[in-house]
Structure 1
């Protein structure tokens, strides 16, 4: 079942975010082990008004618990939503980089999609994407966008099969990504 995330889902959401981000999560906390970032993402997933907030998340839950999550928000709100996170990691983890913009106004940005390793290949990611994009049909948004690593052809194939097309390439936090978009 797909549902709106709750603040109490933060521990499960944090692990899913780490699973999706891997090395990127490590950079935010200045550690080599991405799992060291769990407390950071648990903190922000449970708060309002930031890019990793439960407010911006849908979760997939089955009999085993939460095993998938997707987050998204209006691209025009990127700086507003990311600033609490960046301020916190600057003061708590001495993170001084300024990440490139992942999105822009006029786009609904899908920030993070993650399915637990033991649940992959069951269509959960597809269901989450369709649910998130489906919520946009009566909104002001005409397109949804996301970034996918050029090193992740399986994810690129999934997004292509769901109607996303490569709009351009972007550099983000030291990696090269396809910026993909679909009409909603």
Structure 2
């Protein structure tokens, strides 16, 4: 089966958002300021269709199989996320009436894989690997650098995949009180 990777568009939200929410778990509450799944979903759809935050369609790529969204990659630079998160913090602070701070997820100078997720229907077809390879190609096209991601410490199969693709754990990381491995792969310029 052919896998097409393309830039996301606003219309991908209904299929992409449930996958992103599955991948990031409780972090979705921090990103939306909501606690109920229906409200989290509505808020995430709104964020996805906007252009000013880390979960915008502008920073997302879709793996398409059989005309369906089979996987999602959310990707941006550490420099971009400074502005993207400042926008999100302002939005959430205004919404909640109290100052909100988003936990950082990257080191300076990195290209960051925020989310990589494959629809359960399409797992086992190499889509996750293709999305990770696509992120690597983006970094090559941008002149090379460190490509990073965070993975929960108990996700052994994901850690093995990342190791196989050349990522190494460089330090522990904490996001909303959960422990992650911060993994990095150095990518040469194209």
- Asked if 1:111 is matched to 2:114, the reply is yes
- Asked if 1:135 is matched to 2:130, the reply is no
Structure 1 residues 59-68 or 90-99, which shifts more? 90-99
Change (3 A) 1:21 1:114: same
How many residue pairs match? The answer is 183
Cα distance in 2 for residues equivalent to 1:113 and 1:152: 14
Work out which of the residue numbers 7, 16, 20 in structure 2 matches 1:17.
Answer: 20
Give the secondary-structure state (helix, strand or coil) at the position aligned to 1:140.
coil
Aligned to 2:8: 5
Give the secondary-structure state (helix, strand or coil) at the position aligned to 2:158.
helix
Cα distance in 1 for residues equivalent to 2:78 and 2:176: 18
- Asked if 1:179 is matched to 2:182, the reply is yes
Aligned to 2:68: 65
- Tell me how far 1:118 sits from its aligned partner: 2.1
- Tell me how far 1:100 sits from its aligned partner: 2.8
Cα distance in 1 for residues equivalent to 2:17 and 2:186: 29
Work out which of the residue numbers 73, 84, 94 in structure 2 matches 1:81.
Answer: 84
Change (3 A) 1:90 1:130: same
Work out which of the residue numbers 19, 26, 33 in structure 2 matches 1:29.
Answer: 33
- Tell me how far 1:105 sits from its aligned partner: 2.3
**Are 2:89 and 2:102, in contact at CA under 8 Å, matched by a contact in 1?**
no
Tell me, which stretches of 5 or more residues in structure 1 are unaligned?
none
TM-score, length of structure 2 as denominator length: 0.87
Structure 1 residues 167-176 or 133-142, which shifts more? 133-142
Work out which of the residue numbers 44, 53, 71 in structure 1 matches 2:56.
Answer: 53
Structure 1 residues 174-183 or 3-12, which shifts more? 3-12
Q: After superposition, give the CA deviation of every residue in 1:133-183 in whole Å (9 maximum; x if it has no partner).
A: 112213234110010011211211111111100011011111011000001
Change (3 A) 1:3 1:35: same
Cα distance in 1 for residues equivalent to 2:139 and 2:103: 25
Aligned to 2:167: 164
Give the secondary-structure state (helix, strand or coil) at the position aligned to 1:122.
coil
- Tell me how far 1:93 sits from its aligned partner: 4.8
**Are 1:30 and 1:95, in contact at CA under 8 Å, matched by a contact in 2?**
no
- Tell me how far 1:104 sits from its aligned partner: 2.5
**Are 1:106 and 1:141, in contact at CA under 8 Å, matched by a contact in 2?**
no
Cα distance in 1 for residues equivalent to 2:118 and 2:131: 9
